[in-house]
Amino acid sequence: MGEPGDLYSVHVEAPSLDDLRDPVLVVALDGYVDAGNGVRLAVDSLLASLPHSVVVTFDVDQLIDYRARRPVLTYEKNAFIDYAAPRLVVHQVTDSDGTPFLLLSGPEPDTQWERFVAAVGEVADRLGVRLTVGLMAIPMAVPHTRPTGMSSHATRPGLLPDAEDAFGTIAVPGHATGLIEYRFGQAGRDAIGFAAHVPHYIARSDYPETARTLLQATADATGLLLPTADLDAAAATVRTQLQEQIAGNAEVSAVVEALEQQYDTFVSATGRGLLAQSAPLPTADELGAQFEAFLADRENPDG
């Protein structure tokens, strides 16, 4: 096993460390759970709307199993004309108020997690990172007609407002974003994480509200000014489309109404926007079966 420093390169065009002024590092990896494509949409929105440059690149040949996630080759007129090589990079991004921050995005590594986390730690120390923020989006049995819920966690008290423990002790599948937060906490680095709650029945479709919620939570926690106008407009469009399609399907409407009633009952009793664990829920398979038909028809012939 090589040294962590052998996994990444700092580019000569990178800004001086003084310019960064104790930046925030946002970790937004794909490849694990990304319900509603919330993390991907958040990354796309940031890079499309804010100035940015590449600061660090990771050696994906050492970290990615290409047979598990095959990059796309484009074939045209009897020849291969393009290859979409995966990129795992740290961008320096400048927010709407001129404050620089760092964005780690790209595919979650398939191998060498500990070495990768150590490498991210070296990068964080080298660039003077003061706080790391991990983003995720997870499917839950919640209605799209209510505010998007959020799970939050931190490596020490005081980094986030105090909140009740909604889940207790649970075991979840390991993921690199969570391991970064865990190892950073052990090393005394400040790190927090946000996981937006996405309705089960739209977890496989683009749901811009998820990305908007993740960016707003990041802005609130860090003081960064992150634009969401494009996501606001896209989320409004998706909400309208969902309402139109649900209104035309009595069975689907009944499922959404049941989730709304459960959500409202729990909020009324506890004041928190999470699930009532004692209430009967349709299973993920039931939701999937009921929504499969109309989700397949979401795209009209005009796109």
Same domain, 109 and 67: yes
| Residue 195: partners with Cβ closer than 8 Å, 6 or more residues away | 136, 137, 138, 150, 151, 152
Element (H, E) at 124: helix 113-126
Helix, strand, coil shares, percent, the chain, to 5: 40, 20, 40
**Cross-strand partners of 93:** 52, 101
Q: Are residues 78 and 187 in the same domain?
A: yes
Does 116 lie in the same domain as 31? yes
Measured from the Cβ of residue 103, the count of other Cβ atoms closer than 10 Å reads 24
pLDDT at 248: 80
Q: CA angle, corner 165, sides to 160 and 166, nearest 5? A: 115
d(CA 237, CA 168): 36
Which among 179, 199, 227 is the end of a domain? 227
Count how many domains the chain has: 2
- pLDDT for 301: 45
What pLDDT sits at residue 272?
Answer: 59
Q: Does residue 202 share a domain with residue 113? A: yes
Which residues lie below 8 Å from residue 9, measured CB to CB, with a gap of 6+?
56, 57, 59
Please check whether residue 302 lies inside any domain of the structure. Answer: no
Residue 48 placed within a domain: yes
Per-residue pLDDT of the chain (303 residues; tens, 9 = 90+): 689 999 999 985 555 666 778 999 999 999 888 999 999 999 999 999 999 999 999 999 999 999 998 999 999 999 999 999 999 999 999 999 999 999 999 999 999 999 999 999 999 999 999 999 999 999 988 889 888 888 999 999 999 987 666 667 888 889 999 999 999 999 999 999 999 999 988 889 999 999 999 999 999 999 999 999 999 999 999 999 988 888 888 888 888 888 888 888 877 776 655 543 333 444 444 444 444 444 454 444 454
Tell me the CATH number at 120: 3.40.50.10900
pLDDT of res. 158: 93
Closest-CA residue to 134 (of 117, 147, 122): 117
215 shares a domain with 245: no
Please indicate, yes or no, whether residues 189 and 66 belong to a single structural domain of this protein.
yes
Q: Has residue 211 been placed in a domain?
A: yes
Which pLDDT belongs to residue 157? 93
pLDDT in the model for residue 16: 60
User: End of a domain among 227, 256, 280?
Assistant: 227
206 domain residue, yes or no: yes
Q: Are residues 138 and 241 in the same domain?
A: no
* Whether residue 59 is found in the same domain as residue 145: yes
* Domain around 126: 4-227
Q: Are residues 127 and 251 in the same domain?
A: no
Query: Do 112 and 173 reside in the same domain of the chain?
Result: yes
- pLDDT for residue 286: 46
* 183, 121 contact by CB (below 8 A): yes
CA distance 262 to 267: 9
| Residue 273 within any structural domain of the chain | yes
Distance CA 28, CA 103 (A): 7
Point out the domain boundary residue: 199, 227, 255.
Answer: 227
Q: Is residue 75 part of a domain?
A: yes
Residue 303 lies in a domain: no
Its pTM stands at 0.86
Tell me whether residue 160 is exposed, middle or buried, using C-beta atoms within 10 angstroms of its C-beta: 0 to 12, 13 to 18, 19 or more: middle
| 10 inside domain | yes
The pLDDT value recorded for residue 170 is 82
Clarify whether residues 269 and 175 are in a common domain. Answer: no
Same-domain check for residues 131 and 254:
no
pLDDT, position 164: 66
